[in-house]
Structures are given as C-alpha cells and as structure tokens.
C-alpha cells in the first residue's frame, strides 16, 4: 500500500473496532499534517470496505491506486478518473484548510493534523447509517447532522466555520445525498465485487449505538496518531533536540 505503516495501523485499529458491531461499512479517511515524515505523507485519502483497503491516494503518489484485485477488475477508467479528480480537489482544499485553522487557533508553529472521516454502514436489517466528522489537533471540530443538514461545532473556534458552512445549502444537500444514497450504493457494489473475501466471521451479539462506538474509536485513532506523529518528529529531529539540551 502507498500508505505507510503508521497510517495503515491507525486505520486498522479503527476498523477492527467497527467490526464488533457486525456491520458492513465503507469509510473514507483523510489525513493532512503540517510536518510529514517517514510513512506519513502530508496528505492521504484511504478508502475502506469493512477491514480492507480498496484504494488509496497520497500526496507522494499523486494518484489513486486500487488495493484489491476485485476493485481493479470491476471498476473501469471512468471510476478511477473520478476518484483522482476528487482526491486532488480534496488535497488542495485541505492545504488551504490547514493554513486557515492554524490562523484561527493562532498556532502557526509546530506539528498540526487534520483528520476527516466520512462513511456509511449497512446493517443486517437493511437499515443504513451515514456520518461525517472531522478533528483538528486531536480534538473534535465539526460533525454533520444530516437530519437538519447543519453542522455541529465542538468549540468556539469551530463556530466560525459552522456559520459559514450552514449557509452553504446546496453543499449540505449534497452531503445528505452522499451519506444516505451514494455512499450506500458504492458499499453495495463493493460488497458484490468482493463477496468472496468480505464475509463476516463469528456470531453477532447485541449492537451498541454506532455513534457512541464510533466516537470511542475516533478518539483512539486521534490519540495514537498524535503519539506516532510525535515519535516521527522526535526521530527526525534528534540532532537538533540534542544540541538544544
């Protein structure tokens, strides 16, 4: 995979937590960092179905690459062109967003990270669930309420962005459509393509509410990300740190 070990490890920890719910899921993970390091590109976009990476994109490769044979065999050039187009748009958008957030929180120096997760779940009873959540420097920033088509701010700083995004009615309608329909449609297609490898194992018991379970794993994801990023930073700056002591 084009995603280095640190990022891949984080995604897998999150996804294995989700598997406990007995759901089929599709996830898109975006990560942007102010100081990239070994195995941690400044921008990455990774798509999962259940516990499997189906494709990824990084600022290093500058292209979307399929990570499952069944994805490469079943999706044609139009699909990959579409994914490349959006990956590059997201990359540009996140570059601008990182600068905006550093100014918003008055933290221009040091290591900063934005993480965004969107996705949908298909339950055994055929009901679905979709979500959008992002964070800045390990703290919740904004979540999308698809019922009201408005944004929920986690702190005072996020309120500024919330007011601006709430006014983008067309964009919010698109997000609702994506989470409730487009994402689920892609998930169903992927499950059909990869049905031989996407079979559930074990018995499923009672399912906790997905939002609470998701939040727990999101915070685990963010905390581990910061620890790994710190380790990368220290390793890359050993000489400078030793001289300053």
- What is the arrangement of strands in the sheet containing 65-66, beginning at the earlier edge strand? 65-66, 52-58, 43-49, 24-33, 113-122, 128-136, 139-145, 150-153
What confidence tier does 211 reach under pLDDT thresholds 50, 70, 90? very low
The pLDDT value given to residue 127: 83
Report pLDDT digits (tens) over 54-110. 999 999 999 999 999 999 999 999 999 999 999 999 999 998 898 889 888 887 788
Give burial (CB, 10 Å; 0-12/13-18/19+) of 57. buried
Phi, psi of 96 (to 5 degrees): -70, -40
Domain spans, the chain: 5-244
CB 142 within 8 A of CB 162: yes
Pairing label, strands 65-66, 52-58: antiparallel
CA distance linking residue 214 with residue 228, whole number of Å: 21
The pLDDT value given to residue 176: 96
Least Cα distance to 228 among 26, 33, 30, 15 occurs for 33
- Enumerate the H helices of 53-168 as residue ranges: 69-74, 77-104, 156-166
pLDDT at 51 over 60: yes
The pLDDT mean for the chain works out to: 79
CB 122 within 8 A of CB 188: yes
Under CATH, domain 5-244 is a member of which superfamily? MHC class I-like antigen recognition-like (3.30.500.10)
Report pLDDT digits (tens) over 2-42. 333 344 434 444 443 443 444 799 999 999 999 888 888 99
CA distance linking residue 223 with residue 217, whole number of Å: 10
- Enumerate the H helices of the chain as residue ranges: 5-19, 69-74, 77-104, 156-166, 169-177, 183-193, 210-236, 238-244
């Amino acid at each position: 995979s084009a995603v280095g070990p640190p990022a891949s490890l984080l995604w897998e920890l999150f996804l294995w937590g989700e598997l406990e719910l007995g759901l089929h899921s599709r996830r898109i993970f975006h990560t942007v960092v102010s100081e990239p390091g070994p195995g941690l590109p400044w921008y990455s976009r990774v798509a999962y179905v259940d516990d499997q990476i189906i494709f990824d994109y990084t600022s290093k490769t500058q292209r979307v690459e399929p990570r499952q044979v069944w994805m490469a065999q079943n999706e044609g050039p139009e699909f990959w062109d579409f994914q490349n187009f959006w990956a590059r748009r997201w990359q540009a958008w996140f570059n601008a967003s990182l600068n905006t957030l550093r100014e918003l929180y008055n933290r221009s120096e040091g290591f900063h990270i934005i993480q965004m997760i969107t996705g949908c779940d298909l339950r055994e009873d055929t009901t679905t669930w979709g979500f959008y959540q992002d964070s800045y420097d390990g703290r919740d920033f904004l979540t999308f309420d698809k019922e009201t088509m408005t944004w929920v701010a986690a702190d005072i700083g996020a309120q500024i962005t919330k007011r601006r995004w709430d006014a983008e009615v067309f964009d919010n309608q698109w997000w609702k459509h994506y989470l409730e329909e487009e994402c689920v449609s892609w998930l169903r297609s992927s499950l059909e393509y990869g049905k031989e490898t996407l079979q559930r194992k074990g018995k499923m018991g009672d399912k906790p509410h997905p939002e609470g379970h998701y939040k727990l794993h999101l915070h685990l994801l963010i905390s581990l990300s910061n620890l790994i990023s710190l380790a990368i930073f220290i390793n890359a700056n050993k000489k400078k740190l030793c001289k300053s002591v």
